[in-house]
Structure 1
Amino acid sequence: MLTSLILGVLLMNVLAVGLVLGRAPLFGTRLYRPMLLNLVLAVAPLVVLVLAALLVLPMLALGVPRWIPVVLTVVLALVWLLLLPNAGYLVTELNLNHRRPGERVPEWYDVLLVLTLAMAGVLTTVLNVLSIELIYTLLRFGDRAAPLAGAEARTLVVVLMLLVALGIWLGRSVRLNSWDVLHPGSLVHKVTGALRAPGGARDAVGFTLVGGAFFVVMYVTVAGPVVQALVELERLRGR
């Protein structure tokens, strides 16, 4: 089931890229580059996870001083967390703002395009969080699947999904990017300004809670069967 999820995420992203790239030559219009950039940013957290595995695991196997892989893991984990909302951000593409007067692009094509982008973002977010849940459980409890269904793992998922929703709000409403963390003074000024604006704090809290709930429900729907299958497989082997 995990393999099917990974394959599904890959295919959804490939389909999204194909629809974005095919739009221009098929209908004689311009290439909408921001969508491609958002897709690249959406898969960036997964790239960080793969990079972490390629760098940290060999260090542990070779007996490198433990503080080196620990520090590297912490740094890559922070980078991953900063990039994670970029995947969920694709749900904000659920509009037709990219359409321009005079374009001959059928509306059905653009509707399917934005739906595919949104689904690619949701599925990529789910896969990212599931990967972290698996890694966390492995490090915390060892080679056991039962803790995946425990309160600690579920709390981790909820917290991460709330942070994803908050990150999406910061990106869409405050127009922040992940790399804005390199300019903390400007970042704090923009965020406080947005929160102090009329209705700003209410919108931030509302979107974070509702958006977080949406991603949690999607996680339960998509990743839940994978987690349940791992737990059940362990239970059957223990008989």
Structure 2
Amino acid sequence: MYAVITAVVCAVLLNVTAAVFIVLRATVYGVRLYRPMLVNIALSFVPVVLAIAGAIGLIVLTPALAGIGSAGISPALFLWGYLAIATVVWLLFFPNSVYLITELNLNHRERKTPVPLWYDIVQTLTLTVSGIANAVLSLAIVQFGLIVLVFDPVALTAPAASWVFAGVVIVLGAVGVYLGRYLRFNSWDVRHPGGMVRKLRAHFAIRGKTLEAIGFVVSHALLVALIYVPLFSLTVAALSVAR
């Protein structure tokens, strides 16, 4: 629990630091405050909140399962339903954290600006790292939860099935980033599937867009995986030693 709290605190500090850099940029150099970045920071932290809320929900629901069973409802079915809904909701917002990688294009920087290039590089890099931290932390919480509840609660290592889950999430996260950056989709656009399908058809009808999407997804997923896998593996190893 101490490790989780430490990780959450570090992620929060990264998000706060990124926001402070954005505000200082406008204050110190007298330029327009780039509000979209502040909004993206908030959206990026949503998966962390949802992952923690889902874990707390499980802790709260566990004592109530016996009562649910006495009411004629299958506790296992109720638990699986909760896990499915909580995971899907979290997954819809997960790409918002990885999305901050795309801020490295410095599209907020105007051609003529008093802001030094070094400042924008540090500010944007901090923003990107905060997003990656949010992605890693939220995915780690969910993967740990699935290991304990579904795969193998007594495993000293992460079961292969949990890695498959993490890999699928990372790829879907990269797909979500592509859809958000190039088709301007948001997590809540799933409420209008018909409109999403029409935009997708129009987009991929353009020659070269399919290959572009594949390259984007593969490269971004590889980057996140190369960061996530060793961090999660080291965490699991540390927990195994602690046992």
Q: Give how far 1:76 is off.
A: 2.3
Q: What is the rounded CA distance, in whole Å, between the counterparts of 1:152 and 1:59 in structure 2? A: 25
Unaligned runs of 5+ in 1: 235-239
| 1:40-59 equivalences in 2 (<5 Å) | 40-59=42-61
- The residue that corresponds to 2:145 in the other structure is 135
- The residue that corresponds to 2:72 in the other structure is none
TM-score (norm 2): 0.88
Q: Which amino acid is 2:235 matched to?
A: V
| 1:109-120 equivalences in 2 (<5 Å) | 109-120=119-130
- Deviations along 1:109-151, one digit per CA (max 9) or x if unpaired, are 1110110111111111111111111000001245324241x32
- Of 28, 31, 50, the match for 1:29: 31
Q: Give how far 1:13 is off.
A: 1.1
Q: What is the rounded CA distance, in whole Å, between the counterparts of 1:153 and 1:203 in structure 2? A: 29
Q: How many residues align?
A: 233
Change in CA separation of 1:100 and 1:166 when aligned onto 2, cut-off 3 Å: same
Q: What is the rounded CA distance, in whole Å, between the counterparts of 1:230 and 1:41 in structure 2? A: 30
Change in CA separation of 1:3 and 1:55 when aligned onto 2, cut-off 3 Å: closer
Q: What is the rounded CA distance, in whole Å, between the counterparts of 1:106 and 1:201 in structure 2? A: 37
- The residue that corresponds to 2:63 in the other structure is 61
Q: Which amino acid is 1:39 matched to?
A: I
**C-alpha RMSD of matched pairs (Å):** 1.9
Q: Which amino acid is 1:32 matched to?
A: Y
- The residue that corresponds to 1:38 in the other structure is 40
Q: What is the rounded CA distance, in whole Å, between the counterparts of 2:61 and 2:10 in structure 1? A: 31
- The residue that corresponds to 2:15 in the other structure is 13
Conserved? CA contact 1:195–1:204, under 8 Å: no
Unaligned runs of 5+ in 2: 69-74
Q: What is the rounded CA distance, in whole Å, between the counterparts of 1:193 and 1:115 in structure 2? A: 33
- The residue that corresponds to 2:185 in the other structure is 176
Range with greater deviation from structure 2 (194-203 or 61-70): 61-70
- The residue that corresponds to 2:198 in the other structure is 189
Q: What is the rounded CA distance, in whole Å, between the counterparts of 2:177 and 2:26 in structure 1? A: 28
Q: Which amino acid is 2:129 matched to?
A: M
Q: What is the rounded CA distance, in whole Å, between the counterparts of 2:61 and 2:230 in structure 1? A: 36
- The residue that corresponds to 1:210 in the other structure is 219
- The residue that corresponds to 2:71 in the other structure is none
TM-score (norm 1): 0.89
Aligned residue for 2:105, secondary structure, equals coil
- Of 83, 106, 117, the match for 1:107: 117
